[in-house]
């Protein structure tokens, strides 16, 4: 008989909750699954740990509450959906609200269709479908289609899809942002201009290129494109920082700019300096190597300047 089965037979809800923080993920899952069969008595203890600082504990508690379908858990789980910093927790919270089946969750789930994370948006849509929900206006319909990633249908909505698409242009997945910008370019119209300008300053080169292609229909003047691209936030390492590191800690500057062998160079450099100090009794051997590291610092500075945006 497994540990979870023993605890279940003895109705040890506290013991099962402690297993949610077990070092073995399989044990965490089994504990959450078992708690979901404990019914009403487990509801309040599970609600009490929804603010626990460890993500996997919150996940297990929410999953169990979804299985129990306790009406008192609606508001606490909605809070997790609206405020949790972890997208997995928000995703599971959305699904749990659908499982519980209380229509009070519909406004929060509709709001979650605008979440920056595509998994959370899809989880909210699945939960709304469990509640037999249907969109009551074109904007909400567009958000539903975005959650489903039904890009072709969105294209057919034309201008009605522009506002909802702009709201999720901050999606952390660059492929999703590319799709959105491409679609805005195909729909066109003045309302897409702001979105295209925002995409031209995106940190991802694929999204920026897609925005360049979309600019003609988005209404961004061709002559303004280079200036907007030039003003985007840079994602390359600091050239000055890499140079200083190589000047005083030779090798670390290379590691900083992504060269895997940089740390090996630094360790070799430090070993040589220690051996020189021990064998030649030099008080400060580093000063003799500075002309060489200065050349390396200059080379590193210009190497970073020539690097494309990451």
75, 100, 133 — which closes off a domain?
Answer: 133
Which residue among 86, 111, 133 closes a domain?
Answer: 133
Tokens of 164: 């909802």
| Residue 170, in any domain of the structure | yes
Please report the pLDDT score of residue 211 as a whole number: 83
In a domain, 264, yes or no: yes
Within a domain: 17: yes
Q: Are residues 41 and 112 in the same domain?
A: yes
Same domain, 243 and 214: no
Structural domain ending residue among the three candidates 190, 205, 230: 230
Q: Give the domain range for residue 284.
A: 239-305
Domain assignment present for 310? no
CATH number, domain containing residue 49: 1.25.10.10
Residue 23 pLDDT: 84
Is the model's pTM score more than 0.85? no
Residues 129 and 7 in one domain: yes
Q: What is the pLDDT of residues 37-85, one digit of tens each?
A: 898 999 999 999 999 889 989 999 999 999 999 899 999 999 999 999 9
Q: What is the DSSP string of 234-289?
A: P-SPPHHHHHHHHHHSTTHHHHHTT-TTHHHHHHHHHHHHHHHHHHH--S-THHHH
- pLDDT for 235 equals 60
pLDDT along the chain (310 residues), means of 10: 81 87 86 89 92 91 93 95 94 96 95 92 95 92 92 87 84 85 80 79 82 80 75 70 84 84 87 81 73 86 72
Shared domain for 226 and 243, answered yes or no, is no
72 within some domain:
yes
- Other beta carbons less than 10 A from residue 239's beta carbon: 18
* Whether residue 105 sits in one domain with residue 7: yes
Whether residues 174 and 217 share a domain: the answer is yes
**CA torsion angle 203 204 209 215 (round to 10):** -50
Alpha carbon distance 69, 78 (integer Å): 14
User: Do residue 8 and residue 113 come from a single domain?
Assistant: yes
Structural domain contains residue 160? yes
Q: Are residues 43 and 88 both part of a single domain?
A: yes
- Provide the pLDDT for residue 119: 93
- Long-range residue pairs from 254-263, CB within 8 A, at least 24 positions apart, any chain: 254/300, 257/300, 257/303, 257/304, 257/307
Burial 184-219 (b: 16+ CB within 10 A, else e): bbebbeebbbbbbbbbbebebeebbebbbebbebbe
Q: Do 83 and 171 lie in a common domain?
A: no
**The predicted structure's pLDDT at residue 282:** 67
- 116 and 208 both lie in a single domain: no
Distance of CA 188 to the CA centre of its chain: 29
Do 37 and 101 lie in a common domain? Answer: yes
In this predicted structure, what is the pLDDT of residue 310?
45
How many domains is the chain built from?
3
Mark whether 176 and 198 lie in a shared domain: yes
* In a domain? residue 167: yes
SS3 category, 182: helix
């Amino acid at each position: 008989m497994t540990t979870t089965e023993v605890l279940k037979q003895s109705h040890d809800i506290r013991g099962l909750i402690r297993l949610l923080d077990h070092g073995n993920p399989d044990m965490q899952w089994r504990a959450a699954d078992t708690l979901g069969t404990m019914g009403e008595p487990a509801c309040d203890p599970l609600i009490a740990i929804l603010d626990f600082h460890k993500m996997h504990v919150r996940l297990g508690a929410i999953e169990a509450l979804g299985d129990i379908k306790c009406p008192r858990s609606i508001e606490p789980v909605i809070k997790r959906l609206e405020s949790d910093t972890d997208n997995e927790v928000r995703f599971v919270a959305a699904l749990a609200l659908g499982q519980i089946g209380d229509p009070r969750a519909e406004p929060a789930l509709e709001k979650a269709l605008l979440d920056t994370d595509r998994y959370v948006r899809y989880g909210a849509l699945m939960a709304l479908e469990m509640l037999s929900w249907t969109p009551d206006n074109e904007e909400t319909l567009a958000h539903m289609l975005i959650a489903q990633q039904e890009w072709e249908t969105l294209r057919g909505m034309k201008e009605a899809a522009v506002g909802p698409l702009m709201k999720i242009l901050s999606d952390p997945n660059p492929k999703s942002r590319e799709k959105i910008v491409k679609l805005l370019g195909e729909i066109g119209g003045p309302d897409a201009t702001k979105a295209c300008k925002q995409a031209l300053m995106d940190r991802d080169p694929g999204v920026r290129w897609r925005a360049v292609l979309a600019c003609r229909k988005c209404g961004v003047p061709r002559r303004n494109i280079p200036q907007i691209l030039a003003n985007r936030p840079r994602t390359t390492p600091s050239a000055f920082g890499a140079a200083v590191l190589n000047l005083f800690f030779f090798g670390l500057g290379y590691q900083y700019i992504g060269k895997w062998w940089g740390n090996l160079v630094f360790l070799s450099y430090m070993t040589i300096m220690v051996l020189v100090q021990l064998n030649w009794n030099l008080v400060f051997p580093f000063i003799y190597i500075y002309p060489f590291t200065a050349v390396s610092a200059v080379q590193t500075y210009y190497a970073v300047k020539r690097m494309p945006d990451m």
